[in-house]
């Protein structure tokens, strides 16, 4: 019970602190590019680009489900990575900027490919991808696909591997607060799309959704051609691809995560995944790790310090 409560506290308190005291926004340039979608045509992507004079490496940050580059964890990561010598691009997956262009699914790598291939990132010799929560799921799909040879590695933080199991977990009554937070973000994205074009399910019906299962059934399935939510989970889950990763990948799992249970991650790790390094971290909540985190990856403590050490080992 104590460990259960610790996981909630470690997850919620940083979010409360960020809301009360704010997070460093830093100086960034508005970034955009276009990706051609076979169903809806050109889709404009946006993000926050933080150039760093003299840097030869850029980290593409991918937010979690219902999040955006404005999410506190993205802003904090961008600021810390700048201190460590990296340029960053905080990418808004399609629709996360509330532009109404479209809405994304968590197995979709087209946005990442377009961002990495954009002219704004052409100057960087090394590209890394850092995905948070479901953003890490998208990042791992990228690692399993043919990508720009400049992409050196992918990091996924607090990331589920099997979509159906995590859907059942987050849809349980005990996860109601977290589920509402995620769904509120997704509903805002969908409403923006519905204000611009016809959508398969009326916006008012989506507003009444209370489960991730129903979001996937009413929004994701019709938009992306799946017969059901369960069909989308079967096709989009990254777990079956982990044995065939094409680039080094790092998965960081929080033992006390109240949103993505560590046991669910363990259950779906393959017996053999030569491209995947996995660390289970004690005393960590969802996207919330101890300041003195030491995984043996770097003398610099903390989440980003350890990730920096892993990045540097690849170049």
Q: Where are the alpha helices (DSSP H) in the chain?
A: 2-21, 72-83, 110-116, 134-143, 163-170, 176-194, 203-207, 212-215, 221-224, 229-236, 262-267, 303-312
- Which residue is it, tokens 């960087």? 124
Domain count, the chain: 1
- Measure the CA dihedral 87/92/156/133, to 10°: 140
Q: Domain span at residue 245?
A: 2-312
Question: Residues 30-55, buried b or exposed e (16+ Cβ, 10 A)?
Answer: ebebebeeeeeeebebbbbbbbbeeb
- Give me 131's structure tokens: 């995905």
CA gap 88, 61 in Å, rounded: 7
pLDDT at 23: 73
Tell whether the model's pLDDT for residue 20 goes beyond 70: no
Nearest to 218 by CA among 291, 210, 95: 210
- Under 8 Å between Cβ of 76 and 287: no
Q: Which residues contact 188 (CB under 8 A, 6 or more apart)?
A: 98
The arithmetic mean of pLDDT across residues 37-45, rounded, is: 97
pLDDT band of 27, cuts 50, 70, 90: confident
Strands across the sheet containing 41-50: 29-37, 41-50, 87-92, 57-62, 126-132, 151-157, 249-254, 276-281
Nearest to 273 by CA among 285, 265, 282, 284: 265
pLDDT band of 43, cuts 50, 70, 90: very high
CA gap 155, 119 in Å, rounded: 23
pLDDT in tens, 285-305: 999 999 999 999 999 999 999
Judging by DSSP bridges, how do beta strands 126-132 and 57-62 pair with one another? parallel
Question: What number of residues does the chain have?
Answer: 315
CA gap 299, 200 in Å, rounded: 51
- Under 8 Å between Cβ of 153 and 130: no
pLDDT in tens, 104-131: 999 999 999 999 999 999 999 999 999 9
Judging by DSSP bridges, how do beta strands 57-62 and 249-254 pair with one another? unpaired
Tell whether the model's pLDDT for residue 3 goes beyond 90: no
Q: Which residues contact 249 (CB under 8 A, 6 or more apart)?
A: 140, 143, 153, 154, 155, 156, 275, 276, 277
Tell whether the model's pLDDT for residue 181 goes beyond 90: yes
pLDDT in tens, 215-249: 999 999 999 999 999 999 999 999 999 999 999 99
- Under 8 Å between Cβ of 132 and 67: yes
Question: Residues 243-267, buried b or exposed e (16+ Cβ, 10 A)?
Answer: eebebbbbbbbbbbbbbbbbebbee
Q: What is the pTM of this model?
A: 0.96
Q: What is the pLDDT of the chain when averaged over all its residues?
A: 95
Domain of 233, CATH number, reads 3.40.50.1820
Nearest to 286 by CA among 252, 309, 310, 311: 252
- Within the chain, what is the greatest distance between any pair of CA atoms? 53
């Amino acid at each position: 019970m104590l460990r259960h409560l610790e996981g909630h506290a470690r997850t919620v308190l940083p979010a409360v602190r960020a809301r009360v005291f704010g997070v460093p926004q830093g100086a960034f340039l508005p970034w955009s590019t276009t990706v051609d979608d076979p169903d809806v045509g050109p889709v404009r992507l946006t993000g926050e680009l933080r150039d760093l004079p003299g840097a030869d490496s850029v980290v593409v940050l991918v937010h979690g489900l219902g999040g955006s580059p404005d999410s506190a964890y993205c802003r904090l990561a961008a600021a810390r990575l700048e201190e460590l010598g990296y340029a960053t691009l905080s990418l808004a997956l399609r629709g996360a900027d509330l532009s109404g262009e479209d809405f994304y699914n968590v197995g979709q790598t087209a946005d990442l490919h377009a961002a990495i291939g954009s002219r704004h990132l052409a100057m960087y010799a090394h590209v890394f991808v850092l995905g948070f929560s479901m953003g890490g799921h998208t990042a791992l799909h990228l690692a399993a696909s043919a990508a720009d040879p400049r992409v050196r590695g992918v990091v996924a933080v607090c990331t589920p591997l099997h979509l159906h199991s995590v859907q059942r977990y987050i849809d349980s009554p005990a996860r109601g607060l977290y589920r509402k937070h995620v769904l509120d973000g997704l509903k805002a994205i969908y409403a923006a799309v519905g204000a611009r074009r016809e959508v398969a399910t009326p916006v008012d019906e989506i507003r009444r959704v209370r489960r991730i299962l129903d979001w996937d059934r009413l929004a994701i399935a019709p938009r992306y051609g799946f017969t059901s939510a369960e069909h989308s989970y079967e096709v989009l889950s990254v777990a079956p691809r982990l044995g065939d990763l094409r680039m080094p990948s790092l998965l960081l799992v929080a033992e006390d995560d109240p949103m993505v249970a560590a046991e669910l991650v363990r259950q779906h790790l393959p017996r053999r995944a030569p491209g995947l390094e996995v660390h289970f971290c004690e005393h960590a909540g969802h996207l919330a790790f101890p300041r003195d985190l030491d995984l043996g990856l770097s003398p610099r403590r903390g989440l980003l310090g350890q990730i920096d050490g892993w990045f540097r080992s690849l170049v």
